[in-house]
Chain A
Amino acid sequence: MSTAIQNISLSGKKKQVSNKEMTFLERLYLIAIVKGLWITIKHFFRKKATIHYPEQVRPFSPLYRGRHMLKRDEQGRENCTACGLCALTCPAEAISMKAAERQPGEEHLYREEKYAEIYEINMLRCIFCGLCEEACPKDAIYLTISKELVPAQYHREDFIFGKDKLVMPLEMAIANSKKQN
Chain B
Amino acid sequence: MESAFIIEKSIFIVVIFAFTMIMAMYSTWAERKVAAFLQDRVGPNRAGWGGLLQPLADGMKLFAKEEFEPDTKNRFLFFVGPAIAMSTALMTSAVIPWGDKLHLFGRDIILQATDIDVSLLYIFGIVSVGVYGIMIGGWASNNKFSLMGAVRAASQMVSYEVAMGLSIIALLMMTGTLSLKEISAQQTGFHWNVFYQPLSFLIFLICAFAETNRTPFDLAECESELIGGYHTEYSSMKMGFYLFAEYANMFISSTIISILFFGGYNYPGMGWALEHWGVNVANSIGIAALFVKLCFFIFFFMWIRWTIPRFRYDQLMNLGWKILIPLGIANIIITGICILVFK
A binds B: yes
Q: Which residues of B contact A50 (CB under 8 A)?
A: 40-42
Q: Which residues of B contact A8 (CB under 8 A)?
A: none
Interface residues of B in 31-53 (CB under 8 A from A): 34, 37-42, 45
Contact of A43 with B by CB under 8 A: yes
CA distance A36 to B303 in the complex (A): 10
Q: Which residues of B contact A20 (CB under 8 A)?
A: none
Please pick, from A37, A43, A47, A49, the residue contacting B304 in the complex, using a CB distance under 8 A: A37
CA distance A158 to B40 in the complex (A): 37
Please determine whether B41 and A40 come into contact, CB atoms closer than 8 angstroms: no
Interface residues of A in 13-47 (CB under 8 A from B): 33, 36-37, 39-41, 43-44, 46-47
Please determine whether B303 and A37 come into contact, CB atoms closer than 8 angstroms: yes
Q: List 9 A-B contacts (CB under 8 A).
A: A36-B307, A39-B307, A40-B307, A43-B39, A46-B40, A48-B41, A50-B40, A50-B42, A52-B42
> A interface vs B, CB < 8 Å?
33, 36-37, 39-41, 43-44, 46-50, 52
Q: Which residues of B contact A49 (CB under 8 A)?
A: 40-41
> B interface vs A, CB < 8 Å?
34, 37-42, 45, 303-304, 306-308
Please determine whether B307 and A37 come into contact, CB atoms closer than 8 angstroms: yes
CA distance A63 to B303 in the complex (A): 43
Specify the chain A residue showing the minimal Cβ separation from B309. A36
Please pick, from B37, B45, B308, the residue contacting A44 in the complex, using a CB distance under 8 A: B37
A27–chain B nearest beta-carbon distance, Å: 10
Please determine whether A33 and B39 come into contact, CB atoms closer than 8 angstroms: no
CA distance A39 to B39 in the complex (A): 11
Q: Which residues of B contact A52 (CB under 8 A)?
A: 42, 45
CA distance A39 to B38 in the complex (A): 9
Please determine whether B40 and A40 come into contact, CB atoms closer than 8 angstroms: no
Q: Which residues of B contact A43 (CB under 8 A)?
A: 37-40
CA distance A44 to B37 in the complex (A): 5
Please determine whether B303 and A41 come into contact, CB atoms closer than 8 angstroms: yes
Specify the chain B residue showing the minimal Cβ separation from A46. B40
B215–chain A nearest beta-carbon distance, Å: 12
Apart from A37-B303, A43-B37, list 6 A-B contacts with CB within 8 A. Answer: A40-B303, A44-B34, A46-B40, A47-B40, A48-B42, A52-B45
CA distance A40 to B306 in the complex (A): 8
CA distance A60 to B206 in the complex (A): 49
Please determine whether B307 and A44 come into contact, CB atoms closer than 8 angstroms: no
Q: Which residues of A contact B41 (CB under 8 A)?
A: 48-50
A83–chain B nearest beta-carbon distance, Å: 48
Ranked nearest first, the 9 interchain pairs of A and B with the lowest CB-CB distance are A36-B307, A50-B42, A40-B307, A44-B37, A40-B38, A49-B40, A48-B42, A43-B38, A37-B307
CA distance A52 to B37 in the complex (A): 15
Specify the chain B residue showing the minimal Cβ separation from A30. B202
Q: Which residues of B contact A39 (CB under 8 A)?
A: 307
Q: Which residues of A contact B42 (CB under 8 A)?
A: 48, 50, 52
* B34, B39, B41, B307 interface centre (most CB from chain A within 10 Å): B307
